[in-house]
Amino acid sequence: MQPGQFSCRTVRKRREVVESMFLRQKYNYSKELKRPITFGNVDMNKAVENGAMLKCAGFMRKQTERYKTKKVQLEKDEYPSFDGKGIKFFTFTPKEKKEKYPAMIYYHGGGFMFPIQKFMMNSSVSYCERLGIKVFLPEYRISLEDSCDTIIEDCYHMLKYVFENAERLGVDKGRVLVYGDSAGGCLAESVTLLNRDRENYHLRGQMLVYPVCDNESEKYASVKNYKDAVWSEKANETMWKTYLKRGTKNIAYVVPIKSDLKNLPPAYIEPQEIDILRDEAVAYADKLKAAGVAVEVNIIPGSYHGFDSDFRSSLVKQVYEKRYQVINRMLI
């Protein structure tokens, strides 16, 4: 490389620094968080159409396959979905041996398009180790390849598998909750609705972290105010377009805010202040409350979408402490 020339990596890094400085000037992000990178400059719609997004998903899967930890016991297995297809899932078990453990089923985020990412594995380890609970993390099918109805059924059948195999899995059926972040929050919402209308397994709660709740996002002020923040308006539009493109038999399960929300488990909802999804999460919380569901809303000041991947941040540590308390309270 000649003097004055830069590698692609150097150019990318410098661009990220410039984007980060721009975002920090435009939005009042907490200084306790690492520099944010926006999806605003990524043409996600084009990336979906030309297959780049699917290649990226494949790369993420390979990273997850190589994941290792010594903090808890990590196992891989499969469960049968509605169509008989085996769906891979990870189980995180505390090192302290017990006959039965409380359990959390974690539906990961990723715009319905991406598979499990490394920081989600790290989060699962953290909850498992700190709280002494089993964590089940399913690798549900993604919208780049399958329909929204298929994805929701994959997620519901993870719940069904845990309850119907509780004794063999070492799970206390009386102490189970669902957890979801971003698009995974929407899937956790969908699962609680399906569960209410089907087997009605006993769920102690639903943890919804910066959740997706509504496909009609343009009506919310937070979309206008933060349209080119970390999770951008354009990225959100591509997410919903891809998720809904194969149609659905029941939109009320796919977009939970359109549903009757009565008789659902207590909810902890954690919107981020500087996020286009903030106001729809608050609207979902309000509709839950109106339906008689116990809800705690905790908006994190100065935070952005996906901020909690930085485990070194003092703010992230504080937020996890709060989540530990809520989960522990739900599962007692």
Please tell me the distance from the alpha carbon of residue 94 to that of residue 89, in angstroms, as a whole number: 17
pLDDT by residue (tens digit) across 168-183?
999 999 999 999 999 9
Q: How confident is the model at residue 18 (pLDDT cuts 50, 70, 90)?
A: very low
> At 116, phi and psi to the nearest 5?
-60, 140
> At 81, phi and psi to the nearest 5?
-90, -175
CATH superfamily, domain at 43-331: Alpha/Beta hydrolase fold, catalytic domain (3.40.50.1820)
Q: Output the pLDDT for position 2.
A: 42
Q: Output the pLDDT for position 122.
A: 97
pLDDT by residue (tens digit) across 235-289?
999 999 999 999 999 999 999 999 999 999 999 999 999 999 999 999 999 999 9
Q: Output the pLDDT for position 6.
A: 34
Q: How confident is the model at residue 23 (pLDDT cuts 50, 70, 90)?
A: low
Where along the chain do its domains lie? 43-331
